[in-house]
Structure 1
Amino acid sequence: MDIEAKIKSDMKALGCKSDLKISLAYNLYIHLVDEKLMYDTEYCYNKDIDTLYIVARPNKNDKLNIYVPIPTYDLISVSFINQVQENLCTVETGPTVNLAFIEGDFTTVIYTFTKGLVNRPPPHRVSQQRAKEGRRTFIDNELRKSRNEILNDALNGGVVDDDDCEVLD
């Protein structure tokens, strides 16, 4: 039995019945092992969401990453990504899942999704934030322009006109 048949047989033995999912997972596995040179690469199956996936370490001392093969023609929703994260992410792997989109010629593009990122703020909030950043940038630029003058005044005690001073008894 050749290696491809053995690996696909092992994937089927994990519980996956879909030949398409097995083929995609096999090609992702080979991509991660041969092209990306990942460490501790293993294929796994989650029966709750009927998904074959790969876990691997990009470097020897890194944590395990999760890679889920997806055909490029599948429609992916945020709820699907949340479902994958809920079922596959562990304390050991962290809140990140990598979706590996695989084309018919087995070209693979990997996107990383991290659970718990902040939702995009509403448009009025974004414009307020931009205005605030604009004011900060203006003030910073003005301070930079006058930096030498401000430093000289601070070091020399500043220059005070006699007209501006009042002597108190």
Structure 2
Amino acid sequence: MDIETKIKEDMKSLGCNSELKISLTFHLYIHLVDEKLMYDTEYCYNKDIDTLYVVARPSKNDKLNIYVPIPTYDDISLDFINKMQENLCTVETGPTINLAFIESDSTTVIYSFTKGLVERQPPERVIENKAKEERRKFINKELKNQWKEIIDRALNGGIVDDDDCLILD
């Protein structure tokens, strides 16, 4: 029995009966192990939502990430993403879920979705932040334009008027 058959049989034994889901999860598993070189890579099955998925660590010290394989022709809604997050995310994995869109030629593109949207800032705050950014840009531009003169003054002590000096006895 070759390794692909063994892994697919193991996935089926978890409770998944969909050949498509098993095939997609197998491709994702191999992608994460062989191409992304992830650590602690495991495939799992959630019977409540009939979903095969993979958990893996990008590096040894990272938390586990959740990867759900999706065929590229499937329509994905926010409700679907929320359902996946509610059923798969744990304290150990955090609020992020990764959807791995897999093409028929095994091309894989992964998008991350994190629970909890950031509230939109009020218009006054956006204007205020934009003004601050413009001031920063102006100051950085002036510093860049005056850089040579600033360095020369710093290195040469600049020009000192006698009126600015205080003589200590």
TM norm. shorter chain > 0.5? yes
SS in 2 for 1:48: coil
Equivalent runs, 1:1-169 vs 2, <5 Å: 1-121=1-121, 126=126, 129-130=129-130, 133-134=133-134
C-alpha separation in 1, matches of 2:122 and 2:74: 29
The one-letter code of the counterpart of 1:58 is P
TM-superposed CA distance for 1:117, in Å, is 3.2
SS in 2 for 1:30: helix
- In 2, the alpha carbon distance for the partners of 1:83 and 1:119 equals 21
- Partner secondary structure for residue 61 of structure 1: coil
TM-score (ref. length: structure 1): 0.75
Amino acid at match of 1:73: Y
Deviations 1:49-85 (A, max 9, x none): 1110000111111111111001111111111111111
2:114 counterpart letter in structure 1: T
Give the direction of change, closer, same or farther, for the CA distance of 1:2–1:100 in structure 2 (3 Å limit): same
Gaps of 5+ in 2: 151-159, 164-169
Q: How many residues align?
A: 159
User: Structure 2: how far apart are the matches of 1:53 and 1:119?
Assistant: 30
Q: Which consecutive unaligned segments of at least 5 residues does structure 1 have?
A: 149-155, 160-169
Secondary structure class of the residue paired with 1:16: coil
**Structure 1 CA distance, aligned partners of 2:76 and 2:41?**
25
1:141 to 1:31, Cα distance in 2 relative to 1, 3 A? closer
Q: Distance in 2 between matches of 1:17 and 1:39?
A: 27
Aligned residues: percent identity?
76
Q: 1:66 to 1:131 in 2, by over 3 A?
A: same
